[in-house]
Amino acid sequence: MTDGIVFSIEEFAINDGPGIRTTVFLKGCPLRCAWCHNPEGWSPLPEKMVKRGREETCGYRISSGELAERLGRDRDLFRDSGGGVTFTGGEPLMQSPFLCEVMDGLKDMHKAVETSGYAREDAFRSVMERADSLLFDIKLVDSALHRKYTGAGNELILRNLKTLIASGKPFVARIPLIPGVNDTRENMEATASLLQGAVGLQRVELLRYNRVAGAKYPMVGLSYRPPFDEEKEPAVYDAFTGLGMKLLVL
């Protein structure tokens, strides 16, 4: 049995898939998005966090069996509401062996995984096979810009997206709307053309940039300096409904 590092479990998460859901945050992320609002999810290890002057440890070790048991307690609730469990992070695929074991322990319930897609292909496949649906982030289609704003190019991400589309697995495409970064017509149209014809696509969600993004940086000893204008309202450019895709702006 594998141990994993979890940094939060949120009950009644309303934006992470159908029905009543619990969302599990797995620690560790290989990307460094300039707008990330969960910097405590970056390091793969437990770390110090200071909240309102009180020091606490962010992240704890838990075995796959124990986590599955805990999540399984709300089975009846999930069944009644068509809900289940969503895994996110950080980047949950960074702990894919652990994640697969937890999912194997939750055979009888709906499981969703939110991923940046930045993961080894075999890891991606093994998690995808076990999930009932995916929430797949598409931040920027231009690889150079992707590198500039997240610290890595997007080739791996786009390859995994292709795998996902080919599998027919239900998924939601999520695009964070960052003012002046990716809220352009060009980027939205490029994203739409990536998604065109994907049978598994349930809808596209645009997540408006949230101004509290920087709140947690000082808590983990970092400072937040976004290379874009936070005050600006991101533009909502709909390149999707015209192509027959459902769009939801959150």
Partner 1 sequence: MLRALLNAEKPVILEGEKIVGTRTISRIPSIFTEAEWAEIRKTHTLHERGTVSNISPDYEGILRDGLGGRKSQVLERAKDPTLTEEQRLFLSAAVESIEAVQDFIQKYRVCARSAGLEDIASILDNIHSVGATTLREALQLLRMVHFALWESDCYHNTLGRFDQYIYPYYRADKAAGRITDQEAFDLIEEFFLTCNKDSDLYVGMQQGDNGQSIVLGGRNQKGEYLFNEVSRMCLKASYELNLIDPKINLRCDADTPLDVFIQGAHLTKRGLGFPQYDNDDVVIPGLEKLGYSPEDARNYVVAACWEFIIPKNGMEIVNIDALSFAGVVSDALEHLEEYASYEAFYAYVDNCIKAECERITQAHNNLYIVPAPFMSMLMGGTIEKARDISLGGNSNNYGVHGTGLSTAADSLAVIKKYYFEEKTLSLEELMDALHHNFKGHEALQEHLRNDAPKMGLDLEEPDSIGSALLKSFAEGLRGKRNERGGIWRAGTGTAMYYIFHAKDLPATPDGRYAGEVIPANFTPSMFLRQKGPVSVMRSFSKQKLEDAINGGPLTIELDESIFRNDESVEKLAMLIRSYIRMGGHQLQLNTLNRETLLDAKKHPEQHRDLIVRVWGWSGYFVELDECYQDHIIERIKYKI
By CB under 8 A, name the binding residues for partner 1: 9-12, 14-15, 19-20, 22, 54, 73-74, 76-77, 80-81, 83, 248, 250
What minimum distance in Å lies between the beta carbon of 80 and ligand SF4? 31
C-beta closer to partner 1: residue 12 or 168: 12
Residue 40 lies near ligand SF4 (rule: CB under 6 A): no
When CB distances are held under 5 to 8 angstroms depending on the partner's kind, the choice from ligand SF4, partner 1, none that residue 132 binds is: none
Region binding ligand SF4 by CB under 6 A among candidate stretches 2-10, 27-35, 157-165, 237-245: 27-35
Residue 33 lies near ligand SF4 (rule: CB under 6 A): yes
Which of 127, 116, 202 minimizes the C-alpha distance to 161?
A: 116
Among 89, 92, 117, 179, interactor with ligand SF4 by CB under 6 A:
89
Among 16, 40, 74, 91, interactor with ligand SF4 by CB under 6 A:
91
> How many degrees, rounded to 5, is the angle at CA 151 between CA 60 and CA 203?
80
Tracing tokens 């309202």 back to the chain, one arrives at 233
When CB distances are held under 5 to 8 angstroms depending on the partner's kind, the choice from ligand SF4, partner 1, none that residue 74 binds is: partner 1
When CB distances are held under 5 to 8 angstroms depending on the partner's kind, the choice from ligand SF4, partner 1, none that residue 89 binds is: ligand SF4
When CB distances are held under 5 to 8 angstroms depending on the partner's kind, the choice from partner 1, ligand SF4, none that residue 161 binds is: none
C-beta closer to partner 1: residue 125 or 208: 208
C-beta closer to partner 1: residue 39 or 83: 83
C-beta closer to ligand SF4: residue 74 or 91: 91
What minimum distance in Å lies between the beta carbon of 135 and ligand SF4? 11
The DSSP string of the chain is --EEEEEEEESS-SSSSSSSEEEEEE---S---TT-S-GGGTSSS-EEEEETTEEEEE-EEEEHHHHHHHHHTTHHHHHHHT-EEEEESS-GGGGHHHHHHHHHTTTTSEEEEEE-S-S-HHHHHHHHHH-SEEEEE---SSHHHHHHHHSS-SHHHHHHHHHHHHHT--EEEEEEE-TTTT-SHHHHHHHHHHHTT-TTEEEEEEEE--GGGGGGTGGGT-----SS-TTSPPP----SGGGT--EEE-
Residue 41 lies near ligand SF4 (rule: CB under 6 A): yes
